[in-house]
Amino acid sequence: MECASLVPTIWISPADGTIYFTDASSKFPLSNYRADILEHGGNGLLLAYDPKTKTTRTLIKDLCFANGVAVSPDQTFLLVVETSAYRVDRFWLRGPKQGQSEIFIDNLPGFPDGISSNGKDKFWLALVTPRDQMLDRLLPHPFLRKVVYRLPRFVQPGPKRYSFVLALDVNGKVVDNLQNPASDCYAEIANVVEHNGALYFGSIGESAIGRFRLP
Protein backbone atom coordinates (compact mmCIF):
# COMPACT_ATOMS: atom_id res chain seq x y z
CA MET A 1 0.00 0.00 0.00
CA GLU A 2 1.28 3.46 -0.87
CA CYS A 3 0.93 6.39 1.49
CA ALA A 4 -0.73 9.54 0.15
CA SER A 5 1.66 12.32 -0.79
CA LEU A 6 2.42 14.99 1.78
CA VAL A 7 4.06 17.32 -0.72
CA PRO A 8 2.18 18.29 -3.90
CA THR A 9 4.02 18.84 -7.17
CA ILE A 10 2.46 22.29 -7.46
CA TRP A 11 2.95 25.76 -5.99
CA ILE A 12 0.37 28.55 -6.16
CA SER A 13 1.73 32.09 -6.21
CA PRO A 14 -0.01 34.25 -3.59
CA ALA A 15 0.81 37.35 -5.68
CA ASP A 16 -1.22 36.53 -8.79
CA GLY A 17 -2.60 33.01 -8.31
CA THR A 18 -0.36 31.44 -10.96
CA ILE A 19 -0.17 27.67 -10.48
CA TYR A 20 3.27 26.15 -11.05
CA PHE A 21 3.27 22.38 -11.51
CA THR A 22 5.09 19.48 -13.15
CA ASP A 23 4.18 16.87 -15.72
CA ALA A 24 6.44 13.91 -14.90
CA SER A 25 6.15 12.50 -18.40
CA SER A 26 4.27 13.68 -21.46
CA LYS A 27 4.75 10.20 -22.99
CA PHE A 28 4.01 7.65 -20.28
CA PRO A 29 1.30 7.59 -17.57
CA LEU A 30 2.46 7.82 -13.95
CA SER A 31 1.47 4.18 -13.44
CA ASN A 32 4.20 3.28 -15.94
CA TYR A 33 6.95 5.42 -14.40
CA ARG A 34 9.52 2.64 -14.92
CA ALA A 35 9.19 3.03 -18.70
CA ASP A 36 9.99 6.74 -18.53
CA ILE A 37 12.93 6.25 -16.18
CA LEU A 38 14.41 3.48 -18.32
CA GLU A 39 13.85 5.44 -21.55
CA HIS A 40 15.51 8.50 -19.98
CA GLY A 41 14.15 10.58 -22.84
CA GLY A 42 13.47 13.90 -21.11
CA ASN A 43 9.67 13.81 -21.37
CA GLY A 44 8.98 15.95 -18.31
CA LEU A 45 7.82 19.57 -18.07
CA LEU A 46 7.61 22.44 -15.60
CA LEU A 47 4.43 24.36 -16.36
CA ALA A 48 2.60 27.50 -15.20
CA TYR A 49 -1.18 27.97 -15.38
CA ASP A 50 -2.61 31.49 -15.33
CA PRO A 51 -6.16 31.32 -13.88
CA LYS A 52 -6.97 34.79 -15.24
CA THR A 53 -6.32 33.94 -18.88
CA LYS A 54 -6.88 30.18 -18.40
CA THR A 55 -3.70 29.46 -20.34
CA THR A 56 -0.75 27.20 -19.57
CA ARG A 57 2.83 27.90 -20.58
CA THR A 58 5.92 25.70 -20.49
CA LEU A 59 8.75 27.04 -18.33
CA ILE A 60 11.21 24.15 -18.69
CA LYS A 61 10.98 21.18 -21.04
CA ASP A 62 13.05 18.02 -21.61
CA LEU A 63 13.15 17.18 -17.90
CA CYS A 64 13.95 13.62 -16.85
CA PHE A 65 10.87 12.62 -14.86
CA ALA A 66 9.88 16.03 -13.48
CA ASN A 67 8.73 15.69 -9.89
CA GLY A 68 8.49 17.84 -6.75
CA VAL A 69 8.25 21.65 -6.75
CA ALA A 70 9.25 24.11 -4.00
CA VAL A 71 9.62 27.89 -3.84
CA SER A 72 12.35 29.90 -2.11
CA PRO A 73 11.38 31.77 1.09
CA ASP A 74 11.61 35.11 -0.73
CA GLN A 75 9.73 33.67 -3.75
CA THR A 76 12.46 34.70 -6.20
CA PHE A 77 12.98 31.20 -7.56
CA LEU A 78 11.32 27.84 -7.92
CA LEU A 79 12.97 24.42 -7.59
CA VAL A 80 11.94 21.38 -9.62
CA VAL A 81 13.18 17.83 -9.15
CA GLU A 82 14.43 15.66 -12.02
CA THR A 83 14.15 12.20 -10.51
CA SER A 84 15.95 10.13 -13.13
CA ALA A 85 18.65 12.75 -13.77
CA TYR A 86 19.58 12.78 -10.05
CA ARG A 87 19.33 16.56 -9.81
CA VAL A 88 17.29 19.61 -8.86
CA ASP A 89 16.86 22.60 -11.20
CA ARG A 90 16.19 26.22 -10.32
CA PHE A 91 13.85 28.48 -12.30
CA TRP A 92 14.08 32.19 -11.58
CA LEU A 93 10.74 33.91 -11.02
CA ARG A 94 12.18 37.37 -10.33
CA GLY A 95 15.43 39.30 -10.51
CA PRO A 96 18.09 39.69 -13.24
CA LYS A 97 17.80 35.99 -14.22
CA GLN A 98 14.01 35.99 -14.43
CA GLY A 99 12.77 33.29 -16.81
CA GLN A 100 16.09 31.44 -16.83
CA SER A 101 16.82 27.99 -15.44
CA GLU A 102 19.99 26.39 -14.09
CA ILE A 103 21.12 23.35 -12.13
CA PHE A 104 20.65 23.84 -8.37
CA ILE A 105 22.31 20.57 -7.28
CA ASP A 106 23.56 17.70 -9.46
CA ASN A 107 24.84 14.13 -9.21
CA LEU A 108 22.72 13.24 -6.19
CA PRO A 109 23.39 9.85 -4.54
CA GLY A 110 19.81 8.68 -4.97
CA PHE A 111 16.54 9.22 -6.83
CA PRO A 112 15.15 12.59 -5.65
CA ASP A 113 11.39 12.81 -5.34
CA GLY A 114 9.49 15.33 -3.19
CA ILE A 115 10.99 18.65 -2.10
CA SER A 116 9.71 21.28 0.31
CA SER A 117 10.85 24.53 1.92
CA ASN A 118 10.80 25.11 5.66
CA GLY A 119 10.06 28.75 4.84
CA LYS A 120 13.32 29.96 6.40
CA ASP A 121 16.66 28.57 5.30
CA LYS A 122 16.32 24.95 4.14
CA PHE A 123 14.84 22.81 1.42
CA TRP A 124 14.12 19.23 2.47
CA LEU A 125 14.66 16.71 -0.32
CA ALA A 126 13.45 13.10 -0.18
CA LEU A 127 15.53 10.49 -1.99
CA VAL A 128 13.20 7.56 -2.51
CA THR A 129 16.02 5.06 -3.01
CA PRO A 130 19.81 5.10 -3.53
CA ARG A 131 21.16 5.00 -7.05
CA ASP A 132 21.33 1.61 -8.75
CA GLN A 133 24.69 0.65 -10.26
CA MET A 134 23.09 -1.44 -13.00
CA LEU A 135 20.79 1.40 -14.04
CA ASP A 136 23.69 3.87 -14.05
CA ARG A 137 25.60 1.56 -16.40
CA LEU A 138 22.55 1.30 -18.67
CA LEU A 139 21.95 5.04 -19.05
CA PRO A 140 24.42 5.58 -21.96
CA HIS A 141 22.88 2.64 -23.87
CA PRO A 142 19.30 3.27 -25.11
CA PHE A 143 18.97 -0.15 -26.78
CA LEU A 144 19.95 -2.02 -23.60
CA ARG A 145 17.49 0.06 -21.59
CA LYS A 146 14.71 -1.07 -23.96
CA VAL A 147 15.78 -4.68 -23.51
CA VAL A 148 15.70 -4.37 -19.71
CA TYR A 149 12.23 -2.79 -19.84
CA ARG A 150 10.93 -5.88 -21.67
CA LEU A 151 12.29 -8.22 -19.03
CA PRO A 152 10.06 -9.46 -16.20
CA ARG A 153 9.60 -6.74 -13.59
CA PHE A 154 11.25 -8.76 -10.81
CA VAL A 155 14.62 -8.63 -12.62
CA GLN A 156 14.42 -4.90 -13.37
CA PRO A 157 16.08 -2.34 -11.09
CA GLY A 158 13.73 -1.40 -8.26
CA PRO A 159 13.57 0.64 -5.04
CA LYS A 160 15.56 -0.59 -2.04
CA ARG A 161 14.46 -0.35 1.59
CA TYR A 162 16.49 2.65 2.64
CA SER A 163 15.70 5.88 4.47
CA PHE A 164 17.29 8.93 2.82
CA VAL A 165 16.63 12.67 3.24
CA LEU A 166 18.85 15.68 2.52
CA ALA A 167 18.57 19.31 3.61
CA LEU A 168 19.82 21.94 1.16
CA ASP A 169 20.46 25.60 1.84
CA VAL A 170 19.27 28.33 -0.55
CA ASN A 171 22.48 27.93 -2.59
CA GLY A 172 22.08 24.20 -3.14
CA LYS A 173 24.65 23.11 -0.53
CA VAL A 174 23.90 19.98 1.52
CA VAL A 175 23.62 21.02 5.18
CA ASP A 176 21.99 17.87 6.64
CA ASN A 177 22.30 14.25 5.51
CA LEU A 178 19.87 11.81 7.13
CA GLN A 179 20.25 8.12 6.23
CA ASN A 180 19.20 4.80 7.71
CA PRO A 181 19.96 1.50 5.94
CA ALA A 182 18.24 -0.67 8.56
CA SER A 183 15.74 -3.11 7.06
CA ASP A 184 13.09 -2.17 9.63
CA CYS A 185 13.37 1.61 9.15
CA TYR A 186 10.72 3.81 7.57
CA ALA A 187 11.89 3.53 3.96
CA GLU A 188 11.33 4.63 0.35
CA ILE A 189 10.62 8.20 1.44
CA ALA A 190 8.97 10.16 -1.36
CA ASN A 191 7.97 13.33 0.51
CA VAL A 192 9.22 15.28 3.51
CA VAL A 193 7.80 18.31 5.36
CA GLU A 194 9.18 20.19 8.37
CA HIS A 195 6.61 21.24 10.97
CA ASN A 196 7.03 22.32 14.61
CA GLY A 197 10.50 20.90 15.03
CA ALA A 198 9.88 17.57 13.31
CA LEU A 199 10.03 16.04 9.85
CA TYR A 200 7.00 14.22 8.49
CA PHE A 201 7.48 11.62 5.76
CA GLY A 202 5.36 10.10 3.03
CA SER A 203 6.48 6.90 1.33
CA ILE A 204 5.77 4.82 -1.76
CA GLY A 205 6.27 1.64 0.24
CA GLU A 206 4.81 2.34 3.69
CA SER A 207 1.19 2.41 4.82
CA ALA A 208 1.68 5.21 7.36
CA ILE A 209 3.17 8.69 7.74
CA GLY A 210 6.61 8.77 9.33
CA ARG A 211 7.84 11.30 11.92
CA PHE A 212 11.37 12.28 12.95
CA ARG A 213 12.06 14.78 15.73
CA LEU A 214 14.79 17.25 14.72
CA PRO A 215 17.64 17.88 17.22
Q: Does position 140 have pLDDT exceeding 80, yes or no?
A: no
pLDDT tens-digit profile of 4-28?
A: 344 447 888 888 899 999 999 888 7
The band of 55, judged by pLDDT with boundaries at 50, 70 and 90, is very high
Q: What is the dihedral of CA 60, 55, 35, 113, to 10 degrees?
A: 60
> What domains sit in the chain, N to C, each tagged with a CATH number?
10-213 (2.120.10.30)
The neighbouring-strand residues paired with 47 are: 21, 58
Q: Does position 144 have pLDDT exceeding 90, yes or no?
A: no
Q: What is the DSSP letter of 84?
A: G
Question: Which of residues 185 and 183 earns the better pLDDT score?
Answer: 185
CA dist 96 and 144 (Å) reads 43
Size of the chain in residues? 215
Structure confidence at residue 6 (pLDDT): 41
Structure confidence at residue 157 (pLDDT): 66
DSSP letters along 31-44, please? GGHHHHHHHT---E
Residue type, 130: P
- Its pTM stands at 0.88
Q: Quick one: which of 53, 186, 94, 145 has its CA closest to 178?
A: 186
